């Protein structure tokens, strides 16, 4: 029988917390992950995402809270008893063992029969498309091939859950793009759940069914890639999702919209959450703020980088604020440019929002 995930319905994390002395690295994380779901934990360094993954794996004990696999509590089980597959950033392969022996190591620890191990290892090699590399040592493989071996080792034990801790960060840009496709293909093939830690929003958007954005040990928002891209719930989530223009300002009601003062001009924006006027933060993606001859904002270009289809630019407005924008036409330092953004893409948050 081909490799497939062990049957389960749902992983339930309830109030998971972890402290290191006086430092609260995780604060009451609650999350449900269904079988077959790909969930990305996204956030900056130090936000708690790797701590959360290590708690799930059993490499760290919980300070409080619980972890359940269906109706079974697993937070007090040893890592090997949980039966999860783990893929590390640095591959963590045994350099003196062949590819086949690396992949089959977990099965050997389970006491599986040699013939069964051989069969499963060959299936795993086929899934990760390394069928002819089994007798080589890890040092004879490229970085991308070594990461495939690490993935094969994680899935060969047929885990209900695969945990991945920034597995692509050591690869070059081309390999990262290729491995994204492979990771999602393998996830769909074996039918497990995957929890994937990354600080790269593009990686999370391209891979995940749902994204969990974390900050300071707290879950700030959970949603689909489309939800998080289009409508972050908080200004700090917007910043991490690519809304590089974050402008503290004053706003006033205008029907269902808000008038916001940006760069010395009045711009209409869309209120998010409790935003209703007064002190606010306006968030705009650079690719939503476009050069437009009739636009209300005027800036002097300070830098312009060519990104293939358009120029990615930084301009200085009359009130001294920096604005990042995009232009389909060539602009150069010192040019005066007018800018505009659709009101639906100018998101306005209450400034004191948590």
- DSSP codes of every residue in 324-340: EEEESS---TT-EEEEE
Contact 335, 301 (CB under 8 A): yes
Q: Write down the pLDDT at residue 342.
A: 95
Q: What is the pLDDT of residue 92?
A: 87
Mean pLDDT for 281-286 is 96
Report how far Cα 175 is from the mean position of its chain's Cα atoms.
17
Instruction: Please tell me the predicted confidence (pLDDT) of residue 89.
Output: 84
**Two structure tokens written together for 17:** 């917390």
d(CA 265, CA 318): 9
| Chain centroid offset of residue 176 CA | 14
> Any residues with CB less than 8 A from the CB of 162 and at least 6 apart, and which?
84, 85, 86, 87, 154, 155, 187, 192, 193, 194, 195
pLDDT digits (tens, 9 = 90+) for 47-79: 999 999 999 999 999 999 999 999 999 999 999
Strands 278-284 and 347-350 come out as: antiparallel
pLDDT > 70: percent of the chain: 98
Tell me how far apart the alpha carbons of residues 162 and 160 are, in angstroms, rounded to a whole number.
7
Statement: residue 231 has pLDDT above 80: yes
Distance CA 259, CA 311 (A): 28
Q: Which comes out higher in pLDDT, residue 221 or 80?
A: 221
Q: Residues 35, 5: contact at Cβ < 8 Å?
A: yes
Q: What is the mean pLDDT of the chain?
A: 93
Q: What is the rounded distance in angstroms from the CA atom of residue 115 to the CA atom of residue 173? A: 39
The mean pLDDT value for 314-321 works out to: 93
Q: Is the pLDDT of residue 301 over 50?
A: yes
Q: Tell me the average pLDDT across 272-283.
A: 90
Which pLDDT belongs to residue 5? 63
pLDDT confidence of residue 170: 84
* Mean pLDDT computed over 344-353: 86
| 176-189: average pLDDT | 93
Reported confidence tier of residue 277, pLDDT bands at 50, 70, 90: confident
| Rounded Cα gap, residues 43 and 40, in angstroms | 10
Nearest-angstrom CA–CA distance, 51 and 74: 17
Q: What pLDDT digit, counting tens, does each position of 102-159 carry?
A: 999 999 988 899 999 999 999 999 999 998 999 999 999 998 899 999 999 999 999 9
Give 4's pLDDT tier (boundaries 50, 70, 90).
low
User: Which pLDDT does position 354 carry in this prediction?
Assistant: 46
**Residue-level pLDDT at 104:** 93
269 vs 347: CA distance, rounded Å: 6
Radius of gyration in angstroms for the set of CA atoms belonging to the chain, rounded to a whole number: 24
Euclidean distance between CA atoms 231 and 208, whole angstroms: 17
Q: What is the pLDDT of residues 235-249, one digit of tens each?
A: 999 998 989 999 999
> What is the pTM for the complete model shown?
0.90
Q: Examine the pLDDT at 1 and tell me if it is beyond 70.
A: no
């Amino acid at each position: 029988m081909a490799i497939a995930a062990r049957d389960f319905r749902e992983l339930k994390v309830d109030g998971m917390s972890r402290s290191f002395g006086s430092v609260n690295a995780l604060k009451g994380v609650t999350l449900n992950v269904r079988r077959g779901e790909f969930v990305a934990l996204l956030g900056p360094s130090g936000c708690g995402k790797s701590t959360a993954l290590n708690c799930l794996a059993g490499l760290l004990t919980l300070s409080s809270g619980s972890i359940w696999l269906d109706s079974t509590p697993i937070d007090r089980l040893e890592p090997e008893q949980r039966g999860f597959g783990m893929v590390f950033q640095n591959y963590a392969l045994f350099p003196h063992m062949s590819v086949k022996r690396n992949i089959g190591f977990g099965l050997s620890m389970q006491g599986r029969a040699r013939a069964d191990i051989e069969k499963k290892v060959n299936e795993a090699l086929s899934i990760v498309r390394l069928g002819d590399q089994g007798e080589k040592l890890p040092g004879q493989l490229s970085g991308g091939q070594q990461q495939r071996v690490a993935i094969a080792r994680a899935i060969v034990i047929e885990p209900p859950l695969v945990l991945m801790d920034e597995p692509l960060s050591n690869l070059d840009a081309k390999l990262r793009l290729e491995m994204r496709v492979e990771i999602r293909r393998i996830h769909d093939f074996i039918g497990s759940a995957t929890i994937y830690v990354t600080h790269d929003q593009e990686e999370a958007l391209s891979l995940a069914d749902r994204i969990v954005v974390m900050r300071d040990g707290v879950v700030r928002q959970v949603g689909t890639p489309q939800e998080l891209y289009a409508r972050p719930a908080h200004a700090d989530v917007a910043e991490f999702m690519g809304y590089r223009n974050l402008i503290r300002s004053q706003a006033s009601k205008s029907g269902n919209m808000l008038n916001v003062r940006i760069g010395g001009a009045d711009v209409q924006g869309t209120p998010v959450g409790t935003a209703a006027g007064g002190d606010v933060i306006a968030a705009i993606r650079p690719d939503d703020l476009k050069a437009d001859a009739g636009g209300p904002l005027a800036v002097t270009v300070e830098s312009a980088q060519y990104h293939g289809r358009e120029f990615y630019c930084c301009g200085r407005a009359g009130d001294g604020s920096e604005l990042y924008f995009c232009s389909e036409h060539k602009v150069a330092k010192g040019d005066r440019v007018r800018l505009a953004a659709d009101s639906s893409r100018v998101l306005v948050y209450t400034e004191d929002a948590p």
